[in-house]
Structures are given as structure tokens and as C-alpha cells.
Amino acid sequence: MALEELYRDTQPRMHAFFYIRTGSREAAEDLTQEVFYEAVKGYRSFTGQSTIQTWLFGIAKNKLSNYYRSKKSKENLALKLAGEPAAESLTPEKQVIQSEQQQRLLAQIDRLDDLSKEIVTLRMYAELSFKEIGQLTGAAENSVRVRFHRAKLQLHKELEGYYGP
């Protein structure tokens, strides 16, 4: 796969992963660029024992850890998203409902234990396979599947209780 094609295919998912985890468009853009810079710089270290996307998201995890370390305290993602503009095509009422639903979902994801939160964001926003997530987290593929399923059920149950059946 050509570097440009890899970037075009992976960049939106990488950006979404960082955006969900940091709550900042600027940080997501910076971190995404840093990942690709590191990948180009260190391409010789890619051994082929995983997919290139798994390798890239491994770099992303390290960049995210460094980001959190450099920011002494993590701000609440739901509060940051409250100021995001909603889609122009929606009525004001639907924009408010969509924004509230998004905030509620992200708040519920943020309440998951660290491993489940990581699995959910890698699956939903980075669109990685369970096998790739297992390689990144050091967990067995089946364990990742089960944890994702349980987290999804928990999120659905909590959000259903909030919005009604």
C-alpha cells in the first residue's frame, strides 16, 4: 500500500480516535500528524508481525500516553463537546437532542474502566478489528470481543434508561 493511500485510509480514523480521547480538535490534528511523522521516520522498525494499521495505532497509543503525561490533568470530554457546533441541516431542537445524546454517550464511555474505554474507542472510532485491538492491548482476541460486547450492553442499558425504551 502506498504511503499516500495508507494516510488517506487511516487518517480519519486516527483523528477520530484522538478526538474522542482528548476532546480537542487541535490536539487530535497534532497527534495524528505526529503519528504519521513517527511512522515515516521509523518505518524500518515495522517488522510485519502485525498489520500496518495496528502498528500505527500502537504509535498512537504511545503518543496519547505522552499527551496525557504532559497535560497534568485530563478535562472532561463531555464538557468540551458541549461547545461544538451541530450539523447545519438539523432543526435547532434536533441539534440540541443530538448534542445531548453525544455528550451522554461520551460521558458513559468515559465512565468505563480504562481497558474497556480503550477497546470501545479503538473499535468504534478507529475501526480496528478485535485481533488488532488485542495486539495493541495485550489481551486475547476473544477477551477483547467479550469486553467490547459487555461494554456495549452496559452503554446501551445506561443510555436506554436515560432516554427511555
Nearest to 145 by CA among 134, 136, 153, 160: 134
Rounded to whole angstroms, how far apart are CA atoms 157 and 139?
25
Confidence of residue 109 (pLDDT cuts 50, 70, 90): confident
Q: Is the pLDDT of residue 83 over 60?
A: no
pLDDT attached to residue 96: 74
Rounded to whole angstroms, how far apart are CA atoms 112 and 11?
26
pLDDT attached to residue 34: 93
What are the extents of the domains in the chain? 1-75, 89-165
In CATH, the number for domain 89-165 is: 1.10.10.10
pTM recorded for the entire structure:
0.57
pLDDT tens for each residue of 25-37? 899 999 999 999 9
pLDDT attached to residue 146: 94
Reply yes or no on domain 1-75 having CATH 1.10.1740.10: yes
pLDDT attached to residue 80: 43
pLDDT tens for each residue of 62-79? 998 888 777 643 443 444
Question: CB of 106 within 8 A of CB of 70?
Answer: no
Q: Is the pLDDT of residue 5 over 90?
A: no
Q: Is the pLDDT of residue 162 over 60?
A: no
pLDDT attached to residue 49: 87
